[in-house]
Amino acid sequence: MQKINKNVVLALLSLTSLVFLLFQLYYYKSYLSQKNGTIFSKVKGGQSGQDSTRWHVIRKFLGLISSHNIPVYLIDPLILGLIDKDIEQIRSSDGPSPECKYFCAPRDFTTFALLDKTWKHEVGLFRTAEKMGFQWLKVINKDPRLDGMDDLFGIEIPLHYIFKLASHAIHLVVFYERSGNYLWHGPLRLKQHMDRKFVPFRKLHFGRYPGAYERPELLLVSIDDLKVQIPKNPSSFLDEMSHSRFLECRYREARAFFQLYPDDASLDAVEFRKKAKSLLHLAVRTLNNLGVKFWLSSGTCLGWYRQCNVIPHSKDVDLGVFIRDYKADIIPAFQKAGLPLKHKFGKVEDSLELSFQGEGDVKLDIFFFYEEDDHIWNGGTQAKSGKKFKYLFPKFTLCWTEFVELKVHVPCETLQYIEANYGPDWKVPVKTWDWKSSPSNVQYNGVWPVDEWDDVIQIY
């Protein structure tokens, strides 16, 4: 009898423990997970709880912005990279998704974009977000579009929003229209009072640097059973993203420069700047139509960096092009645009330089740059003697900027580029300039063989 009692007691204890364990699991799943937002019901395809969390956070965010009529589009590089591989299938698919393939991919953030003018910054959005369980963070900074020589105190505008729920966060990047007919987003810079541990900011794809983009054409698609807008050509957007870094003109430094060296406001200076601006607009349009990448070089780059304007005594517009981007269509394209060829020096293999005649005495010089292992150079030719010259620059990459209401490239390492060409005293205006001896980086590079002169020295 005593033996039977022990077995019964042991069985009852085991049964009680099992019931208690099942109750704990049920309580955690049904109450705590809903309260803390750490586990959601799984989407189709049998994803893990963590994968499912990402999908549900995105679904709730899309519901949030839809309820406030805010048009956003997906710019997350990881997800767009996955989508791009299946873009044709996604475009043609109307049925439900058998599995969560894209939004369940492992990552800390999902990134969307918002065009500023399509939204009124309604306070109600954040109230609704909080009711839905989101925590949010707003990053603001000065509006660079309002900066200028006369005003360095632009109003602050929202640049980035972070919406956090459970273990996932939505990064909403605010894009603004700029005068060069492109979209710009600002840097994500946290102010001192902000929580730097709110999310792992270093893992964000957008915000380390300001960026410039063309306005994308959007496509409404169904991704993992969620309706969302994406760039119509994801691969083009991803390529653009990798070269999107933007540099603002340095208005504060330019203002200090003009305090030392008052700007030339003469009629000749005003007229030259007007012609130079018109010539640059025409050159940008022509090269962009050809798909030729270029940047502001020489005196034009110096004018942008030092004084945010065209240098009135420079008398020309200077552009740089890597020789790998040269196209034979460049000359006929400029001639068709109304700019006759003034001279052609060098050849594609060595020291190529083109000059086109603009309005009046303003000319457009295009210098072609050649890459070596440890430096980059462009060449120069003296027509009367056939002497060759070489200008050496440290290697550089290209960033976007805005200059005379145009979106154009400049060297990202602008200071090194300027110092190579103009030396440590580049801040001091020099009105007398000898292209053969004045540059700090010029080297004598021999003489063109006489029998090549007809090809490498062409003056019109």
Q: Can you tell me whether residue 398 is helix, strand or coil?
A: strand
> What is the end-to-end Cα distance of the chain in Å, rounded?
121
| Rounded mean pLDDT, 255-260 | 94
Per DSSP, which regions of 211-294 are E strands? 211-213, 218-223, 226-231
As a whole number of angstroms, the distance between CA 249 and CA 253 comes to 9
Dihedral (Cα; 271, 277, 283, 284), 10-degree rounding: 180
Q: Which amino acid is at 228?
A: V
- Strand-pair category, 387-393 with 406-411: unpaired
99-108, 141-150, 195-204: which range is least confident on average? 141-150
Confidence band, pLDDT 50/70/90 cuts, at residue 188: very high
Predicted confidence band of residue 48 (pLDDT cuts 50, 70, 90): low
Query: Going by C-beta distance under 8 Å and a sequence separation of 6 or more, which residues neighbour residue 29?
Result: 39
**Domain 50-244, CATH 1.10.8 — does that match?**
no
Over the chain, what is the mean pLDDT? 89
Structure tokens at 145: 């579009």
Domain boundaries, the chain: 50-244, 251-459
Measured CA to CA in angstroms, residue 64 lies from 43, 126, 132 at distances of 19, 9, 8
Q: Find out whether 444 and 389 touch, Cβ atoms under 8 Å.
A: yes
Residue recorded with tokens 């069985």: 11
- Cβ neighbours of residue 71 under 8 Å, at least 6 residues apart? 114, 115, 118, 229
The pLDDT tens digits for 287-301 are 999 999 999 999 999
Q: Is the pLDDT of residue 237 over 70?
A: yes
Closest CA to 109 of 142, 128, 137: 137
Q: State mean pLDDT over 174-186.
A: 94
Token pair belonging to 42: 């799984």
Concatenated DSSP letters of 204-228? -SSSSS-EEEPPPPEEEEEETTEEE
